[in-house]
Amino acid sequence: MSQAEDLIVIIDYGSGNLRSAEKAFARQAQKRAVLVSGAPEDVRRAAHIVLPGVGAFGDCAQGLRAIDGMVEALHEAVMDKGKPFLGICVGMQLMCRHGLERATREAPHLGLGWFDAEVRALDVAAPLKVPHMGWNEISVRQDQPVIGPLNGQDVYFVHGFGAVVDDGAQDDIAAITDYGGAVTAAMARDNMLGVQFHPEKSQAAGLGLIERFLAWRP
């Protein structure tokens, strides 16, 4: 395997501290190179691509688009070349059509549009609180090799918004969790996987997911 085929790129677009994600992926990388980068050319030569995200959907979307050529590089690598892609937390939300955080349905923040879904505020009744913060069990709905083994396990969430998948795209929901009702915990299709929870904060369960993602050859 060449150096380029070995490369794991975690995209840095100003979305927050990436150190914990970098450490978790480096731990599972088995001597493969892990590069935190905001360069579109690194995305193009990566074997596996990770898009983390912390903060507001609109700010993250703006930060991604502020890097000249980044969205185009992502579409080329993920949609055209089929490279394995993992979106984490807001990174998963950015895979959706648009988000309503600090926006309206008439003028939403645009995502990458890879999933037919809208990111909305969580609507839960007391005593549940928003943001949803802590450990929750997930129920897997897809026979997907990366997320599948997590069925029935607890993972760590921190989010106040969630992906609501269109009626005609329900097959893209890979896992759900119960937080005052069903909440999308993961979405997947072809070479794309997004998780609302934080694998880098989910201890053994999360490290297992990272290991399977890095071994994934869809």
Q: Which active-site residues does the annotation give? A: 89, 198, 200
Which residues are CB-contacts of 187 (< 8 A; sequence separation ≥ 6)? Answer: 92, 95, 115, 117, 163, 165, 172, 173, 174, 193, 194
How far is the C-alpha of 213 from the C-alpha of 126, rounded, in Å? 36
Dihedral sign, Cα of residue 19, residue 59, residue 203, residue 171: negative
From 56, 41, 54, 46, select the one nearest 10 (Cα to Cα). 46
Which residues are CB-contacts of 42 (< 8 A; sequence separation ≥ 6)? Answer: 7, 9, 35
From 204, 196, 192, 200, select the one nearest 177 (Cα to Cα). 196
From 190, 207, 198, 205, select the one nearest 84 (Cα to Cα). 190
Dihedral sign, Cα of residue 112, residue 68, residue 60, residue 185: positive
What does DSSP say about strands 182-189 and 173-178: parallel, antiparallel, or unpaired?
A: antiparallel
Three-state DSSP state, 69: coil
